[in-house]
Amino acid sequence: MRKPSVARKLAVIVAPMAAAAIVVPLSIGSSHREAPNIMLDPSADNTDVYAWTAPDAPNAITVASDWIPGQVPANGPNFFRFDDRARYYINFDNTGDGVADIRYLFRFSTNVRNPDSFLYAGPGTQGFNDPGLNVIQRYSVTRERYKHGKLKSSHVVAKGLPVAPPNIGPKTFPNYDNFVDASIRHLSGGGKIFIGQRDDPFYVDLGATFDAINVREGTGNQGEGKDDFSGLSTSAVVIQLPEQKVTKNGKPVAGLDAKNAVVGVWSTTDRRRLQVTDASGSSSKARGRDSRFVQVSRLGNPLVNEVVIPLGKKDQFNRTTPDRDADLYGRYVLNPELAAILNALFNVGAPEHKRTDIVQALLQGIPDLNQHSGQNAGTPVDTLKLNLGVPPTNNPDRFGVIGGDNAGFPNGRRLEDDVVDIELQVIAGYLVGNKVPLGDGVDQNDKPFLTEFPYLAAPTSGFDSDPSNRTEPPHSPVPPGG
């Protein structure tokens, strides 16, 4: 039985008519085209962005950006694919104004060796050059430089690189690692890149049963949660660049106080806009005009669009750029609905208004930690702000900054940072003295991350796929903030 992503399952519940199962026109002819009511867009929706300094690459910035979350490995590979017609970006803002200064653009192209075969790969396919591999998606990487929002230069830094295929199973790919190894490539001018299916690094418990809840006794942070993303995969772009490639002055970062130390990161996806009719209203000449692109998704800090932005504004959030965040969405951050819900549910005493602490933590950057320097210091923009001068630690605390670990979220975001617990506690008021030990009971990803590039864990194979939802073992209660 097919089991789609957890996020999409929930979207069946929450988004109006979000996911159509079999779309059936209930008419006796096709008098009405029963058009798809699908507003989900997994191949465009940015699902997670991580930006951190890796311990094994301390002078580089490492970014992982995921699309198509929660892939059930057994569901087959045909649709875990980037969209050949879309444009995928990782954006860097090194001046703090919320406008991209450096952009890396990824474009994809699928090649099918034998168009008469609908098989992804035959049994025993050993690697990319094996004739048994029928479908291969390749990509190019273009580095764009901007000044004040205007494109100044554009260079292709990689071309024709292969996307690591989905891990269909050991019969089809007896040596899946061959693909992974062959997919780690170098960029002209410096840097490493990997694109392909990996284990979805997001971890959260969506719950199976209700237990009674009593927040005053401490809630959720002693484990026993089930990771609902356990066993599921995602399509990941992992890029590692020498830090001077993204800094304001094109030089390495001397230390955490350096003026060029902080870089904002976010990902976006553009789709082709279509012109329905031409200027005269006739539709017949429209086909030549389908060349402009529209931003359809963006993601900086985790869970902002989900938790903070109201339903009626989500489409707008997805098509706007961070430089307008203060104007457009500031009030939703200052008055987060989730705080009210937490209070109504559990009476945690979360302040519901004037949450300048959240604005600072997520949008402005924390002073003396990850605020941009210079005239844009403290401009509220939804980007992941990473201070490249803060050295990585070999003992990360999943609570990041509120756990006393300044190398963690919201100073960038590492794979192991428990953003669910962190954001719950921050919304409850951790930064303004209301420290409530909230959590979802899941502290880590089901699979350990790698200590080397590409850092995300290997994807579960389709054959082994049994999304059994790893359960976090119990442990002593953790005080708020870890």
Query: Taking CB under 8 A as the criterion, which residues in 116-135 touch another protein?
Result: 118
Which residue pairs from 372-377 have beta carbons closer than 8 angstroms and sit at least 24 positions apart in sequence?
Answer: 372/94, 372/95, 372/96, 372/262, 372/264, 373/96, 373/259, 373/260, 373/261, 373/262, 374/95, 374/96, 374/248, 374/259, 376/95, 376/96, 376/97, 377/96
Give the footprint of another protein on residues 228-267 (CB under 8 A): 228
CB contact at 8 A, 71 and 5: yes
Interface pick for another protein out of 113, 186, 259, 273 (rule CB under 8 A): 273
The pair phi, psi for residue 376, each rounded to 5°, is -95, 10
Q: How far apart are CA 165 and CA 186, in angstroms?
A: 19
Instruction: Write each residue from 442 to 461 as x if it is in contact with another protein (CB under 8 A), else as -, in one continuous string.
Output: x-------------------
Report the residue from 17, 151, 156, 254 that binds another protein according to the rule CB under 8 A: 17
- Under the binding rule (CB under 8 A), the answer on residue 19 touching another protein is yes
477 binds another protein (CB under 8 A): yes
Q: Where are the beta strands (DSSP E) in 42-134?
A: 46-54, 57-71, 87-93, 102-112
The residue (of 173 and 203) whose beta carbon lies closer to another protein is: 203
Within 334-363, the residues that bind another protein by CB under 8 A are 337-338, 341-342, 344-346
Q: Is 27 in the site for another protein (CB under 8 A)?
A: yes
Region 68-87 residues binding another protein, contact defined as CB under 8 A: 68, 71, 75-76, 78-86
Out of 319, 331, 353, 354, the residue judged to bind another protein by CB under 8 A? 319
| Piece in contact with another protein (CB under 8 A), picked from 94-102, 145-153, 158-166, 295-303 | 295-303
Q: How many CA atoms lie within 13 A of 408 on its CB side?
A: 22
How far apart are alpha carbons 202 and 220 in whole angstroms?
A: 18
The only residue of 296, 384, 390, 456 in contact with another protein, by rule CB under 8 A: 296
| Range in contact with another protein (rule: CB under 8 A) among 8-16, 182-190, 255-263, 386-394 | 8-16
Tell me, by CB under 8 A, how many residues bind another protein. Answer: 125
Q: Is 49 exposed, middle or buried (0-12, 13-18, 19+ CB in 10 A)?
A: buried
Q: Which residues pair with 241 in a beta bridge?
A: 61
Q: Does residue 177 touch another protein according to CB under 8 A?
A: no
CA dihedral 387, 229, 312, 79 (to 10 degrees): 100
> Is there binding between residue 279 and another protein (CB under 8 A)?
no
Is residue 390 within 8 A of residue 53, CB to CB? The reply is yes
CB of 405 to another protein, least distance (A): 21
In the complex, what is the shortest distance from the CB of residue 225 to another protein, in angstroms, rounded to a whole number?
7
19, amino acid identity: A
User: Among residues 280 and 394, whose Cβ is nearest to another protein?
Assistant: 280
**Interface pick for another protein out of 181, 257, 290, 368 (rule CB under 8 A):** 290
Subset of 191-230 contacting another protein (CB under 8 A): 204-214, 217-225, 228
Residue 117 CB neighbours (<10 A): 12
Q: Say whether residue 21 binds another protein (CB under 8 A).
A: yes
Q: Cis omega before residue 410 (within 30°)?
A: yes
At its nearest, how many Å lie between another protein and the CB of residue 75? 7
